[in-house]
Amino acid sequence: MTSLSSALPARAAPEGRLIFRHSALVRVCHWVNAICFIVLLMSGLQIFNASPLLTWAQTTNFDRPFFSLSARHDEDGNPIAGVTTIFGYPIVTTGVLGVSRGDDGLEERGFPSWATLPPYQDLALGRRWHFFFAWILVLNGLVYFANLLLNRHVRELWPSLADLRAIPHDIADHLRLRFPTGDDALRYNVLQKLAYLSVVIAFPILILAGLTMSPAVDAAFPWLLDLFHGRQAARAVHFLLAAYLVLFLIVHLVMVVLSGPINNMRSMITGRYRVKETQR
Amino acid sequence: MSRDLIRPRSLRLSRRGLLAGLGVSAAALPLSACSFDTGSPAALNILEKAEAVTKAVQRALLGPETAMAREFEPGAISAFFKPNGSTDPEDADYVALRKGGFADWRLEVGGLVERPMKLSLSDLRALPARSQITRHDCVEGWSCIGQWKGVQLSSILTTAGLKPQARYIALFCADTLEQTLDNTGRYYETIGLIDAFHPQTILAYEMNYAPLKVEHGAPLRLRVERQLGYKMAKYIMRIEAIDDFAKISRGRGGFWEDRGYEWYAGI
């Protein structure tokens, strides 16, 4: 398995070497994961909509959730305004959260139709999609982690002390959209390491939190309830980590575009990445 | 990057890369678009396969069939326990029984059993009882903790004596949750024998140290603590040992199962 650090120059060119950056296994895992994540996210929002509130405890506090999506109604009971409440502070989010446009005008629903799978309200179908793709995600994750640990690729993601000291410098470089060239482009910079490492850690925790919502799994492993501070807290962790991964995805896609979308896409599809030589 | 684009080789590669990338995105995109029916029978056929995997893995994880759901201290009981599904059945038979304080209500135990029985509420109360404070997890995502007291289903089944062909226990209820022409809107549930004989599986007539209220399933409801709320049938009228649930109602083993939910509700 060729790794990032042992990348070999494929051919010399004035514009830069073409190196082999990602193994086939990593590339397949990446795209399977990408599809699973989109399906799990959208079906997850469908499931969330069935009870669009979060409590940090074993049980649901219907009166005081720390996060909720709800609706205000007119005298006839028609939804007129969507309200997102965070730690007791209501924010009007009509059109997107709480109340959004459906087939028959405004309707009461947590996340809007375009964000959920299926687009219409159907908890049963959302669950079917969620659990099917959850299994694929888990199997794909096992393959990825086996490769990460057995082939010690985890070293490529683990920041060194020198890396950590370079954080301010790397932030400044990123802000100026100055990306590594030459040999520096052969390895991940510290911000990349931290971002990818956080995702590699977030996924297993997110899956564990999801499993903690299962009454059967709780009977088999009651310690999960203590780990997450209760079933509803596990539901909150599951939701918040998913939100973190959405944030990661946005930054990831922006960086892919800013640092050379074609070169980046090629490296994740064919494995080949062109390293720009350092300007002298 | 602009320099890359004028090199024919990299352009060729890029175009291929781009097309492949678009292909992958295109595979995911229609999920949100209406052009693709996410609930088509073909899609469901594949998606439903996950249930068997989940069931097999969870059964293996639970190991000995007696792994117990967590039981809580009285202080953990929820101040508000959300009533869900039917909360006030209007079925004439039920309304009449309710008016009489359920004095005329009898639990019928039949099907594939050696000794069919009819039990009144006082008969049930006279039997050894189990009390447990457990968390109720609704498929919608919320949880409440309540105290439940009732007769272990295993003791009723042992007394009635299951015939060897019996594989499931069906619970038929008094409430019609959906108005239909063919009576398939009447609530019912089926559970496997592993869950039926689990020590925490009880027929509860008491909740939070008081007689079970109508909104929570009076006079008798099922507790299956390692599964989701919809398995825990309320307003139970009749229990039957059966070998197959395909011929009951719409054939998928329960009111919500008939409407697309998993028969195995362990997650």
The model's pLDDT over A68-113, given as tens digits with 9 standing for 90+, comes to 999 999 999 999 999 999 999 999 999 999 999 988 889 999 999 9
Considering the domain boundaries, does residue B42 fall inside one?
A: no
pLDDT value at A23 more than 90:
yes
Mutation target for B interface from A125, A128, A208, A217: give the one with most B CBs within 10 A.
A128
Least confident of A2-16, B4-18, B211-225: B4-18
Taking contacts as CB-CB distances below 8 angstroms, the residues of chain A near B139 are: 50, 123, 127
Tokens of B16: 């291929």
| Domain assignment of residue B128, yes or no | yes
The verdict on B254 and B155 lying in the same domain is yes
- Looking at this protein, which amino acid is placed at residue B192? G
Query: For the purposes of burial, counting CB atoms within 10 Å of the CB of A1, is it exposed (0-12), middle (13-18) or buried (19 or more)?
Result: exposed
B118, B236: one domain = yes
Average pLDDT over residues A188-195: 94
Tokens of A237: 């962790």
CB–CB of A73/A99 below 8 Å? no
Would an 8 Å CB–CB cutoff place B138 in contact with chain A? Answer: yes
Q: Does A158 touch chain B (CB under 8 A)?
A: no
CA nearest to A71, candidates A42, A101, A45, A100: A100
Measure CB to CB from residue A51 to each of B16, B140, B256 and give the nearest one: B140
**Does position A257 have pLDDT exceeding 60, yes or no?**
yes
Residue B60 contacts A, CB cutoff 8 Å: no
What local confidence, expressed as pLDDT, does residue B19 receive?
47
pLDDT digits over B61-119, tens only?
887 667 999 999 999 999 999 999 999 999 999 999 999 999 999 999 999 999 999 99
Query: Structure tokens of B115?
Result: 């000794």
Rounded mean pLDDT, A101-130: 94
Q: Are B106 and B179 in a shared domain?
A: yes
Element (H, E) at B85: none
Note every long-range contact of B97-104, with CB atoms under 8 Å and residues 24 or more positions apart, other chains counting: B97/B174, B97/B219, B98/B214, B98/B218, B102/B218, B102/B219
**Residues 154-213, chain B, touching A (beta carbon < 8 A):** none
Residue ranges of domains in chain A, CATH in brackets? 16-51+120-276 (1.20.950.20), 53-110 (no CATH)
**Does residue B59 belong to any structural domain of this protein?**
no
Q: Cα–Cα distance between A201 and A91 in angstroms, integer?
A: 32
The tens digit of pLDDT for each residue in B137-194 reads 999 999 999 999 999 999 999 999 999 999 999 999 999 999 999 999 999 999 999 9
For chain A, what percent of residues have pLDDT higher than 70? 94
Residue B170 sits in a domain whose CATH number is: 3.90.420.10
Chosen for mutation from A56, A59, A213 (greatest number of chain B CBs closer than 10 Å) is: A59
Q: Give contacts of A63 with chain B, Cβ < 8 Å.
A: 80
CA-based nearest distance A100→chain B, Å: 16
Q: How far apart are CA B172 and CA B88, in angstroms?
A: 17
Distance from CA of B135 to the nearest CA of A (A): 8
Identify which of B3, B5, B62 has the shortest CB distance to residue A220: B62
pLDDT at B104: 97
Residues B13 and B115 in one domain: no
Is A62 in Cβ contact with B80 (below 8 Å)?
yes
Task: Say yes or no: B216 and B170 in one domain.
Answer: yes
Closest CB to A60: pick one of B69, B142, B262.
Answer: B142
Q: Which tokens sit at B219?
A: 């006079």
CB proximity A39 to B under 8 Å: yes
Which uninterrupted H or E stretch holds B137?
strand B130-137
Q: Given an 8 Å threshold on Cβ–Cβ distance, is A216 in contact with B17?
A: no
- Expressed as residue numbers, the domain containing B102 is 68-259
Which letter does DSSP use for residue B225 in this model? Answer: T
| Residue B265 domain-assigned (yes or no) | no
> pLDDT digits over B1-30, tens only?
333 333 333 334 444 444 444 444 445 554
Q: How confident is the model at residue A121 (pLDDT cuts 50, 70, 90)?
A: very high
Is B236 inside a domain boundary? Answer: yes
**Is the residue at B136 inside a domain?**
yes
The verdict on residue B233 lying in a domain is yes
Amino acid sitting at position B190: T
State the ipTM, two decimals.
Answer: 0.89
| pLDDT at A209 (0 to 100) | 98
Q: Are residues B18 and B137 in the same domain?
A: no
Give the integer Cα–Cα distance in Å for A7 and A267: 12
Kindly state whether residues B105 and B161 are assigned to the same domain: yes
Q: Which chain A residues are within 8 Å of B68, Cβ to Cβ?
A: 219
Q: What is the average per-residue pLDDT within A53-70?
A: 97
- Contacts with B152 (C-beta within 8 Å, 6 or more apart), sequence order: B128, B130, B199, B201, B202, B203
In chain A, which ranges are E strands? 16-20, 53-54, 67-73, 79-86, 89-92, 98-102, 105-109, 272-276
Is the CB of residue B266 less than 8 Å from the CB of residue A216? yes
Distance CA A234, CA A236 (A): 5
- B17 with B125, same domain: the answer is no
Can you give the pLDDT at residue B5?
36
Count of structural domains within chain B: 2
Cβ <8 Å between B7 and A231? no
Do B8 and B130 have their domain in common? no
In the predicted structure, residue A193 carries a pLDDT above the cut 50: yes
Q: Does B178 lie in the same domain as B72?
A: yes
Residues B181 and B237 in one domain: yes
Within a domain: residue B232?
Answer: yes
